[in-house]
A = this chain, B = another copy of it.
Amino acid sequence: MREHGGNLDLAQQRFGGRAEDWIDLSTGINRLPYPVGEIAAHHWQALPSRSEIEALHRAARHAYGTAAPVVATGGAQAVIQLLPQLAPRGRARILAPTYNEYAPVLSAAGWEAEEARELDALVGANLAIVVNPNNPDGRRHAPKDLLAVLPHVGHLVIDESFADAVPELSLASEAGRPGLLILRSFGKFYGLAGLRLGFAIGHAADIAKLAAASGPWPVSGAAIAIGCRALRDDAWARTTSARLAQDCVRLDGFAQSQGWRLVGGAPLFRLYETPDALGAQEKLARAQIWSRVFAQNPTWLRLGLPGAEAEWSRLAEILAR
């Protein structure tokens, strides 16, 4: 398995403690999740119906500000798994560094997968992939700059897994144009990654292809029940976005006091440069706070945002040692 955040079992093996003792900041998952609430029995027992899935699609269109075709999937990752089927095998270019699943999934399916460093270098690709804002470095691209690439590639995939709290970056409102495909993650902003829910938004032909490849029941009844509620809760989204913005400033302050330099970030994670990221990870891990390091970049330390006030205190305390 490739290196990912959220691998708390590895942290436990190395540093001990029970899962519930740990504060997992190794991912960009909101630690103050949308309330799960009651789930009606039929959502557990029955197959999701076509009308329930369509209600979920409408809720997603509402939340993401789009009128374009949508398909719900078992997480944004499930769309990534299907990308090789979006078009005949060809050349994919991925704006890098970024989330490490794109290149291997495409390569395994016989695509030529290359990294690109700038948007201009995507031109000519059959499939171009940009994560916006980017994980792990928070790099941002203006919608107009991305749209300028669209005519020069076969498909342009914009992974907006971390865009919920920065809607001004989103191209969802432009979805429907031929060749443009938007990926959204439900679990990160809503703090429910275990639910496995994500969406692809795009041109009718592409969405039909992804829907066919996903089969008739691609998401769980619980994902439908919770997703429909959460995606229509504008007040919760607004409050959460505001809170995340404040929390980023707070975490950056903690980092500054350590002498860590902010490389960049999105509203759910921050990437810092530190002379010894592994050492910093170990220091935090001894206090059961898990963080993310990057094999290919030994100075990078990525931290998600603590949730409850007690988590902030624990982080402050260990950093003060």
Contacts and interface: CB of A to CB of B under 8 A. Distances in A.
Interface size bracket, A side? 35 or more
Interface in A139-183: none
A4 B24 CA distance: 42
A2 to B, nearest CB: 7
A78 B33 CA distance: 28
A108 B212 CA distance: 9
Interface stretch (A56-64, A114-122, A220-228, A292-300): A220-228
A7 B47 CA distance: 8
Given A215-B80, A222-B222, A8 B46 contact: yes
Contact of A27 (B47, B192, B193, B216): B47
A165 to B, nearest CB: 18
A213 interface: yes
A32 to B, nearest CB: 10
Given A29-B47, A45-B194, A192-B44, A220 B223 contact: yes
Given A4-B216, A6-B46, A101-B215, 12 more contacts: A9-B51, A29-B47, A45-B193, A45-B194, A46-B194, A47-B187, A74-B196, A74-B217, A77-B215, A77-B217, A81-B213, A196-B217
Interface of A: 1-2, 4, 6-10, 19-20, 24, 27, 29, 31, 33, 36, 42-52, 74-75, 77-78, 80-81, 101, 105, 108, 187, 191-196, 212-223
